[in-house]
Amino acid sequence: MSGSLDNRKQLGLKRPRLDNARSGPMPARPLVALLDGRDCSIEMPILKDVATVAFCDAQSTTEIHEKVLNEAVGALMWHTISLQREDLEKFKALRVIVRIGSGVDNVDVKAAGELGIAVCNVPGYGVEEVADSTMCLILNLYRRTYWLANMVRDGKKFTGPEQVRDAAQGSARIRGDTLGIVGLGRIGSAVALRAKAFGFNVIFYDPYLPDGIEKSLGLTRVYTLQ
């Protein structure tokens, strides 16, 4: 979460300018807006008893209703909309933005902090799915599954091992081959664990992790990308 007092101190940011609507007492039933996208099926059961939820389905703040800009205390956002300083300034009562996802590239976090708006994300969003998809693509490159399946779909008949070998040209054995991972965070380490199980020799580059992490995960650490 950014925009907290501690973060502000660390970043040397100015004291936030709090509009009255932002600093006054919280309304009994605050207005929360889902700015873009239509899915808030996880959040809705929690919010429905304590807040009024507005679905904006907007691509930019020009499409957001005046009432939401004036009264929304919380905003949920996917990745379609972007909130730069001039967008954030349009929200008169906003206190918190929640990115439904891990990246906050589409929010000017510094401007939000200066305006007294906290920005939260969901760091664990999709970790396993991204790691699974990453492995799926890597396995496909090694085992050529996509191209072989396409050949069969296009009517190719295999009459013997020679033909299969020709068709699968470019496929390679995984066991003992080296997979390099840049950034061994949540997703990187989830990929590393999966890749190890397939027999890859996994190496990684991540200068920000403490010494010894390679030992606890049974990986090989490298200190340069060259």
Ligand X SMILES: NC(=O)c1ccc[n+]([C@@H]2O[C@H](COP(=O)([O-])OP(=O)(O)OC[C@H]3O[C@@H](n4cnc5c(N)ncnc54)[C@H](O)[C@@H]3O)[C@@H](O)[C@H]2O)c1
Q: Where are the beta strands (DSSP E) in the chain?
A: 31-34, 52-55, 72-77, 96-99, 118-120, 178-182, 201-205, 220-221
Task: Say which amino acid occupies 18.
Answer: L
Among 206, 213, 217, 222, binds ligand X (CB under 6 A): 206
Q: State which H helix or E strand residue 23 sits in.
A: helix 20-23
Any contact of residue 223 with ligand X (CB under 6 A)?
no
Strand order in the sheet with 220-221: 178-182, 201-205, 220-221
Among 87, 98, 188, 192, binds ligand X (CB under 6 A): 188
Footprint of ligand X on 19-58 (CB under 6 A): none
- Choice between 30 and 185, CB closer to ligand X: 185
Any contact of residue 194 with ligand X (CB under 6 A)?
no
- Choice between 103 and 199, CB closer to ligand X: 103
- Choice between 36 and 71, CB closer to ligand X: 36
Stretch near ligand X under the rule CB under 6 A, chosen from 24-32, 41-49, 70-78, 202-210:
202-210
| Non-local CB neighbours of 41 within 8 Å, separated by 6+ positions | none
Among 125, 147, 158, 198, binds ligand X (CB under 6 A): 125
| Non-local CB neighbours of 61 within 8 Å, separated by 6+ positions | 69, 81, 83, 87, 90
Quote the radius of gyration of the chain (alpha carbons, Å). Answer: 24
The first and second tokens of residue 29, run together, are 């039933």
Footprint of ligand X on 52-111 (CB under 6 A): 102-103
CB of 129 to ligand X, least distance (A): 7
Among 16, 171, 205, 217, binds ligand X (CB under 6 A): 205
Stretch near ligand X under the rule CB under 6 A, chosen from 57-65, 71-79, 136-144, 206-214:
206-214
CB 118 within 8 A of CB 98: no
CB of 187 to ligand X, least distance (A): 3
Any contact of residue 180 with ligand X (CB under 6 A)?
no
CB of 213 to ligand X, least distance (A): 9
* Residue recorded with tokens 């760091």: 123
| Non-local CB neighbours of 159 within 8 Å, separated by 6+ positions | none
Among 185, 198, 201, 221, binds ligand X (CB under 6 A): 185
